[in-house]
Amino acid sequence: MIEMYILLIFMITAAIIAVAAKDLLSSVVAIGAVGIGLAMAFLVLKAPDLAIMQLVVEILSLIILVRATTRKDLPFNISGRWVFNTLATILFAVVFLVSAYASLKFMPDLGSPLMRVSKVYLSEGLVRTGAMNIVAAINLNYRALDTLGEATMLFAAIIGVLAVARKIGRKG
Amino acid sequence: MIIYMLCLVLFSIGLYCVLRKRNIIKIIIGIGIMEYAVNLFFILIGYVEGGRSPIYEHGQTMMKMVDPLAQVIVLTSIVLGLSVTLLLVSIAIKIYEKYGTFDITKINRLKG
């Protein structure tokens, strides 16, 4: 799993650059690097469908985000309760990481999942649905209602965007 | 275990960005980082040591496959993440048109 270490360290570095960059455009480019690293991580973890999907979605969201970067980041100022706010945020993140570390001990190790439901899908999926790709078989056959809900939410989001971005109050 | 923790470190970087930054675009970027970390965590949970991708082939010999259910759920999550980003960016652009700033501490006056 040496590839996963390399990819994760690359993604963490790119994320830190995206958070710390002064220019918004370079921040958006850095989050694009995180997304491409995620697509490569999906390939390493044997999920080619997800890698294709992540690549397409990453390019689209990058285009959408570039539209919004018209200015530089806000100037750094330490007025107000700067020290308290930063310390509280870092304390929150540290508490989150410590509690996650404590609860990860009760999970199965990496590489040996439980797969209580997936065993049935893997053993019967080809015979019952006739699809060679088990991911497509689950997505379009076993959990088709889930996919219907996904499409519904996608169109609801598009309607929301149209309602928000509409120009109102213009006459003539 | 260390890979899980690195993934959660990525999540906490996004959490810091959401909680501490004042620019709306930076907050949207932080939400994106958190989303990537959660997707990666799902796929890491479903990974089988020495497994192959869940696609059958004629004459295959390696029968161990990774968890397909986690991949299906993440497939749904990626598409919904795109639509959430689209909605957030359009709301941010609308706020910029109305108030002339991306600073969340300056957006405090009523105007309608």
Residue pLDDT, tens place only, B61-95? 777 888 889 999 999 999 999 999 999 999 988 88
Q: Is residue A103 part of a domain?
A: no
Task: State which of A72, A93, A127 marks the end of a domain.
Answer: A72
- CB of B108 less than 8 A from some CB of A: no
Task: State which of A72, A96, A122 marks the end of a domain.
Answer: A72
Which is nearest to B78 in space by CA: B40, B106, B51, B28? B40
Q: Mean pLDDT for each consecutive 10-residue tract of chain A (172 residues)?
A: 90 93 89 93 91 92 85 70 88 93 87 84 85 88 91 92 80 57
Q: Is residue B110 part of a domain?
A: no
Domain span including residue A143: 114-172
List of chain B residues whose C-beta atoms are within 8 Å of the C-beta of residue A15? 10, 13-14, 33
Instruction: State ipTM.
Output: 0.90
Question: Residue B21 is part of a domain; what is its CATH number?
Answer: 1.10.287.3510
Q: Is residue A19 part of a domain?
A: yes
Q: Is residue B55 part of a domain?
A: no
Q: Is residue A53 part of a domain?
A: yes
How many domains would you assign to chain B?
A: 1
Torsion angle in degrees (nearest 10) through CA of A98, A100, A101, A106: 140
Test mutation, B7, B42, B63, B69, chain A, max A CBs within 10 A: B69
Q: Is residue A98 part of a domain?
A: no
Q: Is residue A96 part of a domain?
A: no
Nearest CA in chain B to A30: B29
How many domains would you assign to chain A?
A: 2
User: Which residues 43-102 of B are in CB contact (within 8 Å) with A?
Assistant: 43-57, 65-69, 71-72, 74-76, 78-87, 89-94, 96, 102
Q: Is residue A97 part of a domain?
A: no
Q: Do B48 and A112 touch (CB under 8 A)?
A: yes
